[in-house]
Amino acid sequence: MRQITEALQRAERILVITGAGLSADSGLPTYRGVGGLYNGHTDDGVPIETALSGPMLRHDPALCWKYLAEIGRACIAAKPNPGHLAIAELQRRKPGCWVLTQNVDGYHLAAGSAPQRLIEIHGTLAPLYCMDCGETSDKLAAHLAQPLPPRCACGGVLRPPVVLFEELLPEPALGCLRDEIEKGFDAVIAVGTSASFAYIVEPLLRTRHSGGFTAQIDPAASELSQIVDVHLARGASDVLPQLVRHIFGD
C-alpha cells in the first residue's frame, strides 16, 4: 500500500486498467458467471464464448441475446461501487490520469470519470443500434422487458455497441490507447483483471522498462503479478478508497 501510494503521489501520467473484478464488487458476474456458467458451457449446450459471439448474434440472435440480457439486467440492477468512485476522484485530482476498462457496464462514467480520459476498449451496453438501418435506441431496460431479441421499427435486430467474441476491438479506442502509450506513463495500475491481452501487458511492460511504477490490485495472483513491481492481494472496492485518501492526505 505504501509503495503504491508514494508512486501515485509522484506520478503525473497515470493509467488505471480495470477489469471484471472491479465491477464484481458491485454484484456483477464475470462473463463466465453469467447463468452460473462455471463449467464453461451454457444450458444451451454451447460455450459462453460461442453464445456471446458475433457469429452467434448474426446466426441466432435470440440465443445470443438470452445471455446479453442477463448481463444487461445485472448492470441495470447494480451501481458503481466505492472503487469506481475512488478512481473518478483520482482522475479529478490528477488531470493526467487515464482509465482503460474492459468492462461494458458504464460504471466509470456513472461514477464521474472524465469521458475524454476513459477508454472503453470493449464498448458499452448502450445505446443499442439496429444491425440493418443503424437507428439507435437508449431504451435498454424497456427492450429487456420485451421478447428477445430486441427489434428496431424497421424489423432489424438491435445490438449493443460491445465487442463480442470473434469481433475486433474498436479502432478509435485502440488508436487512442496507442497514442497515450507513446506519450508514456509514470505509473500503471491494473485493477481487478488477470487478463494478459497485449493491450494490458504492453503499457505495464513499457512503463516498467522506462523506469515507471506498475502494480496489480487483485485478491488472486495471475500472470500479471509476475510483471509488475507490486501485487496487492486485496479487493478493489476496499483498497482504492484507502489509497486515494492516503495519496491526498484526506
DSSP state of 225: G
Residue with cell 465487442: 163
Q: Return the number of other C-beta atoms located less than 10 Å from residue 12's C-beta.
A: 11
Q: d(Cα 21, Cα 23) in Å, to the nearest integer?
A: 6
Place of cell 460455450: 47
Distance of CA 53 to the CA centre of its chain: 17
Cβ proximity of 167 and 159 under 8 Å? no
Radius of gyration over alpha carbons of the chain, in Å? 19
- Whole-number Å distance between alpha carbons of 161 and 125: 6
Instruction: State the amino acid at position 141 in one-letter form.
Output: A
Q: Check 84, 122, 209, 231 and give the catalytic one.
A: 122
- Pull the grid cell for residue 15: 493509467
- C-beta separation of 12 from 186 below 8 A: yes
Record the cell numbers describing residue 123, joined without a space: 464498448
Q: DSSP characters for 121-143? A: TTB-S-SEEETTT--EE--HHHH
Separation CA 82–CA 207 (nearest Å): 27
Active site residue 209: no
Amino acid identity of 223? E
Annotated active-site positions, please?
Answer: 122
